[in-house]
């Protein structure tokens, strides 16, 4: 194993040069002239400071809302056709109702089939067999009891749409607030990771990301409330905390907004948000205000009445303003929320990790110090234990670090504090490969006269052991990679990459040096 063809030597040297080239690109002061690649190791949030937020979307309200809409629709249709029914409920994601007269069963089925505006036609479950399983809504009849629910596939699709839409809106909101290089990505089926490097006080982000921002315009219940509406609901008033009855009928919602800007009303000395509807919204708003002059309107944000202005004259321009006793900051946030749009479902922040820039700098420093200390300790020990061969091992160790950093740069990996610890640890582990070989060589030298043969056997016999020992640590590292997030993942990455590169350096670079030395000193008594 000590023979190297010219081709192999050429390969080893050129690969070292290649990795050096990548490695040097990491240093700004060297790369001023853009001579090197602009591929760098990214610093993790724990090193550069920043905020990590994990958001979770609660899908239940979304499905519930769809069911409610369906129920309202059914009720309306049943009443129109004078179908006698009772006990119409929504429970456990199912709509149930009973018909009073069994002979009306066919009429009910017919009516159900007619409520198919955006979903496909309902399909019927008979004895647990679904006919037309690809329909979005399914129903089941037990005597006079009807059970209706959404198809699993449909719910899955709704959830997928909701998360995609949420990610878009989160991205818009984050962009509106402005921060450098945010990353937003999906995790699992209902979570979103938001990483905000450099941000040390995420409170404004937290305020904005946790809001659904569903804006609704409805009328407050008055004596002249029309009778054909969908009933009333109680909504909390923001200013005094009291509950006010408003009509369920929606005039127009935030979906129809095209713009929203924070402003200041000089007459009332208040921060306000002015908004503008799109064509459809403006038309809806104009129609509603035309017929209801003198009635109070409720501007509702996430089930809270922000303000309840009385309509003095029809609003035909499609623009208006909300004054809700806001601070400047609140008006700003509301404008951002309205511009970015409403989330399809409520979202909560379930995990936050924020590191200040100071701590990040301290961590970098202690990481570098422990790296240097660890490296020196191992370096000195190797020279003490194996003399010249120790130096060979150390050179290869140093190159191992260079290669490790360049591999991390090529992949654009993120370096975290535990990641630095991982590098230091691989210094200690990488040298094991050389120790195993040298110890074996020591043994073989006792039996074998020829230096070259002794080392050759040592390399040969150690190979499998070394693969074994690296592989077990690698397996643990890979498991760790899937367990961890952020900092811990960074550790797993440096550990795994470090082990692989150490295997490469030990069997190329340090073996090449050992072989060249032995060829030149065939008969010398080796002091190892």
Residue 141 vs 528, nearer CB to another protein: 528
| 487: contact with another protein by CB under 8 A | yes
Of the candidate residues 99, 492, 512, 518, the single one contacting another protein (CB under 8 A): 492
Please identify, using beta-carbon distances, which residue of 16 and 474 lies nearer to another protein.
Answer: 474
3-class secondary structure, 324: strand
Q: Does 230 bind another protein (CB under 8 A)?
A: no
Nearest CB to another protein, comparing residues 75 and 353? 353
> Which 17-46 positions form the footprint of another protein (CB under 8 A)?
46
Tokens coding 334? 């509301």
> ∠ CA 272-274-275 to the nearest 5 degrees?
145
Given 152, 248, 468, 524, the residue binding another protein (CB under 8 A): 468
Interactions with another protein, residue window 109-168 (CB under 8 A): none
By the 10 Å C-beta count (0-12 exposed, 13-18 middle, 19+ buried), 428 is classed as middle
Task: Tell me how many residues contact another protein (CB under 8 A).
Answer: 68
Q: Which of 20, 36, 381, 517 binds another protein (CB under 8 A)?
A: 381
> In this complex, which beta carbon is closest to another protein, that of residue 245 or of residue 439?
439
CB of residue 206 to another protein, shortest distance in Å: 8
189 binds another protein (CB under 8 A): no
The label of the residue with tokens 């072989």 reads 515
**What is the closest distance, in whole angstroms, from the C-beta atom of residue 215 to another protein in the complex?**
25
Q: Residue 442, SS3? A: helix
Which 319-348 positions form the footprint of another protein (CB under 8 A)? 348
276: β partners: 259, 319
Q: DSSP characters for 118-156?
A: SS---EEEETTEETTTTSSEEEEEETTEEEEEE-HHHHH
In whole angstroms, give the CA distance from residue 321 to residue 261: 9
Closest CB 482 distance from another protein, rounded Å:
7
Task: Specify the stretch interacting with another protein by CB under 8 A; choose among 8-16, 237-245, 360-368, 450-458.
Answer: 360-368
Choosing from 218, 367, 451, 508, the residue that interacts with another protein (CB under 8 A) is: 367
91 binds another protein per the rule CB under 8 A? no
Nearest to 195 by CA among 420, 364, 413, 351: 351
**C-alpha span between 466 and 461 (Å, rounded):** 9
User: Using the rule CB under 8 A, which residue among 121, 304, 374, 395 binds another protein?
Assistant: 374
Count CB atoms within 10 A of the CB of residue 328.
Answer: 10
| 479 sits near another protein (criterion: CB under 8 A) | yes
Stretch that binds another protein, among 3-11, 235-243, 379-387, 518-526 (CB under 8 A): 379-387
380-384: list long-range contacts, CB under 8 Å, 24+ apart: 382/431, 382/434
| 436 counts as binding another protein under rule CB under 8 A | yes
- The binder of another protein chosen from 90, 250, 429, 452 (CB under 8 A): 429
The one segment of 228-236, 273-281, 323-331, 413-421 that binds another protein by CB under 8 A: 413-421
**Looking at 31, 116, 186, 200, which residue binds another protein (CB under 8 A)?**
200
Cα–Cα distance measured from residue 144 to residue 453, given in angstroms and rounded to the nearest whole number: 91
Helices assigned H by DSSP within 86-233: 105-114, 152-177, 203-209
Nearest to 458 by CA among 384, 528, 383, 379: 528
Q: Element (H or E) spanning 460, and its range?
A: helix 451-483
Subset of residues 447 to 466 that bind another protein, contact rule: CB under 8 A? 464-465
Measure the CA–CA gap between 419 and 415, rounded to whole angstroms.
Answer: 6
CB of 81 to another protein, least distance (A): 46
Of the candidates 401, 418, 407, 403, which has an alpha carbon nearest to the alpha carbon of residue 483? 418
d(CA 478, CA 21): 28
Q: Which is nearer to another protein, 407 or 499 (CB)?
A: 499
Does residue 185 interact with another protein by CB under 8 A?
no
**Contact footprint for another protein (CB under 8 A):** 46, 54, 56, 200-201, 203, 348-356, 358-359, 362-363, 366-367, 369-371, 373-375, 377-378, 381-382, 385, 417-418, 421, 424-425, 427-429, 431-432, 435-436, 439-440, 443, 464-465, 468-469, 471-477, 479-480, 482-484, 487-488, 491-492, 495
């Amino acid at each position: 194993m000590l023979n190297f063809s010219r081709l192999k030597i050429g390969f080893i040297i050129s690969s070292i040069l290649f990795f050096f080239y990548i490695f040097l690109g990491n240093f700004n002061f060297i790369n001023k002239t853009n001579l090197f690649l602009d591929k760098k190791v990214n610093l993790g949030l724990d090193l550069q400071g920043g905020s990590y937020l994990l958001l979770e979307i609660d899908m239940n309200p979304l499905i519930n809302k769809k069911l409610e809409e369906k129920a309202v629709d059914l009720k309306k249709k049943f009443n129109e056709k004078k179908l006698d029914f009772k006990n119409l409920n929504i429970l456990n994601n199912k709509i149930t109702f009973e018909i009073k007269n069994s002979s009306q069963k066919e009429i009910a089925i017919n009516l159900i089939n007619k409520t198919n505006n955006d979903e496909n036609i309902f399909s019927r479950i008979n004895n647990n067999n679904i006919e037309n399983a690809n329909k979005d809504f399914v129903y089941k009849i037990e005597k006079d009891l009807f059970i209706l629910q959404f198809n699993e596939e449909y719910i899955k699709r709704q959830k997928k749409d909701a998360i995609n839409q949420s990610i878009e809106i989160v991205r818009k909101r984050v962009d509106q607030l402005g921060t450098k290089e945010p990353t937003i990505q999906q995790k699992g089926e209902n979570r979103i990771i938001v990483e905000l490097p450099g941000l040390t006080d995420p409170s404004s982000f937290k305020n904005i990301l946790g809001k659904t921002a569903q804006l609704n315009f409805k009328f407050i219940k008055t004596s002249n409330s029309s009778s054909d509406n969908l009933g009333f609901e109680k909504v909390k008033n923001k200013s005094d905390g009291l509950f006010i009855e408003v009509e369920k009928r929606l005039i127009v919602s935030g979906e129809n907004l095209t713009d929203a800007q924070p402003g200041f009303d000089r007459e009332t000395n208040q921060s306000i948000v002015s908004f503008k509807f799109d064509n459809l919204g403006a038309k809806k708003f104009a129609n509603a205000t035309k017929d209801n002059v003198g009635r109070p309107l409720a501007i509702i944000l996430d089930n809270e009445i922000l303000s309840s202005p009385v309509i003095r004259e029809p609003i035909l321009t499609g623009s208006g303003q909300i004054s809700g006793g806001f601070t400047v900051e609140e008006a700003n946030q509301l404008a951002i929320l309205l511009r970015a749009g409403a989330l399809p479902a409520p979202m909560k922040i379930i995990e936050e990790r924020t590191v200040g820039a100071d701590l990040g700098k301290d961590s970098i420093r202690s990481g570098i110090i422990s790296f240097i200390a660890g490296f020196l300790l191992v370096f000195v020990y190797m020279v003490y234990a194996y003399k010249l061969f120790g130096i060979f091992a150390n050179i290869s160790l140093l190159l191992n670090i260079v290669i490790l950093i360049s591999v991390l740069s090529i992949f654009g990996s993120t370096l975290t504090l535990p990641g630095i610890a991982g590098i230091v640890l691989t210094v200690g582990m990488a040298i094991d490969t050389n120790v195993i070989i040298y110890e074996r060589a020591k043994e073989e030298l006792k039996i074998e006269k020829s230096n070259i043969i002794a080392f050759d056997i040592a390399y040969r016999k150690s190979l499998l052991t070394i693969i074994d020992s690296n592989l077990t640590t690698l397996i643990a590292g890979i498991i760790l990679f899937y367990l961890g997030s952020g900092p811990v993942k960074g550790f797993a990455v440096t550990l795994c990459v470090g082990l692989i590169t150490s295997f490469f350096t030990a069997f190329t670079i340090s073996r090449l040096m050992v072989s060249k030395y032995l060829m030149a000193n065939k008969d010398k008594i080796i002091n190892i």
